[in-house]
Amino acid sequence: MTANGRLTWILGACIAAAACDGGQAPSAPSAAPSFLAGTWTGTLTIEREGEPTTTGPTTWAFEVVSGTNLQTFTVTIRSQHAWLPITTTVTSAITPSNLPPARISTQGNYQSPRGCTGSLLSVGTANAGAIDADFAGVDCQSLVHSTFTGHVQLTKSGA
């Protein structure tokens, strides 16, 4: 085959390959997923004044907020803790970068099983496979012992 013949064959193959993708231009490479994105499970421990410390299972699902350099997330928290059985969506952020280990801060509101809106705050450390953080909040302010503190320990599901 001559050089001109090879060039014609290569050009034809390239045109055919381009036609097979529906004529769409190549897309930019996808951003690497965040180490935090996905489902994490573990335990939530709650302490309230004058009450025994209690523990229950919890699941946190992290989803990256686009355009935030993989550092801001919406988090769906599902708690099966006996005193705080809630499902809520809150916000979380990691610093100083989007790589582990990172400082993690989570905050938001939830509908309390006691008929009010409560607020929660969690601050701790997120590693590639584990989160270890303080957990605190205020439930119905009109109730006795509405302030709580505690701890959450999570491991990444499938990790």
pLDDT given for residue 159 in this prediction = 56
pLDDT given for residue 141 in this prediction = 83
Q: E strand or H helix at 107, and its extent?
A: strand 102-111
Residue 5 CB-half CA count within 13 A:
2
Cα 58 from Cα 156, distance rounded (Å): 12
- Determine if residue 36 is left, alpha or beta; phi over 0 gives left, psi from -120 to 50 gives alpha, anything else beta: alpha
pLDDT in tens, the chain (159 residues): 554 443 344 434 333 334 444 445 545 445 569 999 999 999 999 999 999 999 999 999 999 999 999 999 999 999 999 999 999 999 999 999 999 999 999 999 999 999 999 999 999 999 999 999 999 999 998 888 899 999 999 999 975
Query: CB count, 10 Å around CB of 17?
Result: 9
49 within 8 A of 33, measured Cβ to Cβ: no
What does the pLDDT look like over 98-138, one tens digit per residue? 999 999 999 999 999 999 999 999 999 999 999 999 999 99
Token pair 């989570």: residue: 106
Strand pairing of 102-111 and 117-126? antiparallel
SS3 state at 12: helix
Helix segments in 21-155, DSSP class H = none
What's 34's DSSP letter? P
pLDDT given for residue 142 in this prediction = 83
State pTM to two decimals: 0.80
